[in-house]
Amino acid sequence: MVQRTRLQDAECPVARSLDAIGDWWSLLIVRDAFDGLKRFSEFQRNLGLAKNILSTRLRQLVEHQIFELVPVSEGSAYQEYVLTEKGLGLFPLIVGLRQWGEAFYFAAGEAHSQLVDRQHGQPVKALELRAADGRLLGPHDCVRLPARG
Instruction: Report 85-114 residues binding DNA (CB under 7 A).
Output: none
- Among 27, 18, 96, which residue's Cα sits nearest to residue 67? 27
Backbone angles phi, psi at 60, to 5 degrees: -65, -40
Tell me whether residue 64 is exposed, middle or buried, using C-beta atoms within 10 angstroms of its C-beta: 0 to 12, 13 to 18, 19 or more.
middle
Q: Label residue 98 left, alpha or beta by phi (over 0 means left) and psi (-120 to 50 means alpha).
A: alpha
Q: How far is CA 131 from CA 98, 99, 115, 128, 142, in A?
A: 23, 21, 26, 10, 9
Cβ contact 123:115 at 8 Å: yes
Comparison of 77 and 147: residue with beta carbon closer to its own copies: 147
Q: Choose among DNA, its own copies, none what residue 94 binds, the Cβ cut-off being 5 to 8 Å by kind.
A: its own copies
Give the span between the Cα atoms of 20 and 68, in whole angstroms. Answer: 15
Query: Binding string, 101-120, against its own copies, x = CB under 8 A?
Result: xxxxxx----xxxxxxxxxx
Q: Total number of residues binding DNA (CB under 7 A)?
A: 23
Are the C-beta atoms of residues 87 and 80 closer than 8 Å to each other?
Answer: no
Residues that contact its own copies, how many (by CB under 8 A): 82
Q: From the list 16, 20, 23, 99, which residue makes contact with DNA (rule: CB under 7 A)?
A: 23
Tell me if 62 contacts its own copies by CB under 8 A: no
- The residues in 117-146 that bind its own copies, with binding defined as CB under 8 A, are 117-120, 122-133, 135, 137-146
Stretch that binds its own copies, among 51-59, 67-75, 83-91 (CB under 8 A): 83-91
Task: Pick between residue 78 and residue 104 the one whose CB is nearest to DNA.
Answer: 78
Residue ranges that bind DNA, judged by CB under 7 A? 1-2, 4, 23-25, 39-41, 49-53, 55-56, 58, 72, 76-80
